[in-house]
Structure 1
Amino acid sequence: MGYSTMAPDVWHPGFADDPDSMLSSDQCVIKGRHYFIRGQIEIPVIGREELFSWGVWVSLSRDSFARALDSWNTPGRETEKPYFGWLTTELNSYSPSTLNLKTHAHTRPVGQRPLIELEPTDHPLAVEQRTGITQDRVRKIAEAVLHPGDNA
Structure 2
Amino acid sequence: MTNDPGFTCSCCGEHHAELPMNYAATAPYVWDDRYADESDSLLSEDQCVVKAQHYFVKGLIEIPVVDSDEVFSWAVWVSLSRENFSRAADLWDTPGRESEPPYFGWLSTDLYVYAPSTVNLKTHVRTRPPGRRFSVELEPTDHPLAVEQRTGITRNRVREIAEAVRHP
CA distance in 2, matches of 1:16, 1:60: 20
In the alignment, what sits opposite 1:60?
A: 80
| Cα distance, 1:48 vs structure 2 | 1.4
Equivalent of residue 26 in structure 1, options 26, 31, 46: 46
Structure 1: which 4+ aligned runs deviate by more than 6 Å? none
TM-score, normalization: structure 2? 0.87
In the alignment, what sits opposite 2:134?
A: 114
Equivalent of residue 140 in structure 1, options 127, 151, 160: 160
Equivalent of residue 127 in structure 1, options 108, 131, 147: 147
CA distance in 1, matches of 2:82, 2:113: 30
| Cα distance, 1:87 vs structure 2 | 0.3
Q: Cα deviation per residue 1:63-116 (whole Å; 9 max; x = unaligned)? A: 000000010110111001100000000001100000000000000011110000
The code of the aligned residue for 1:52 comes to: F
Structure with higher Rg: it is 2
CA distance in 2, matches of 1:107, 1:65: 12
Q: Cα deviation per residue 1:97-148 (whole Å; 9 max; x = unaligned)? A: 0000000000001111000000000000000000000110000000001110
* 1:104 paired to 2:103: no
The SS at the match of 2:60 is: strand
Paired residue total: 148
The SS at the match of 2:119 is: coil
* 1:37 paired to 2:60: no
CA distance in 2, matches of 1:94, 1:83: 24
- 1:65-76 → structure 2 map (5 Å cutoff): 65-76=85-96
TM-score, normalization: structure 1? 0.96
CA distance in 2, matches of 1:88, 1:33: 14
The code of the aligned residue for 1:7 comes to: A
The code of the aligned residue for 2:114 comes to: Y
CA distance in 2, matches of 1:125, 1:64: 24
* 1:87 paired to 2:91: no
Identity across matched positions, percent: 66
| Cα distance, 1:47 vs structure 2 | 2.1
Give me the CA root mean square deviation: 0.5
Q: Where in structure 2 are there 5+ consecutive unaligned residues? A: 1-20
The SS at the match of 2:147 is: helix
The SS at the match of 2:163 is: helix
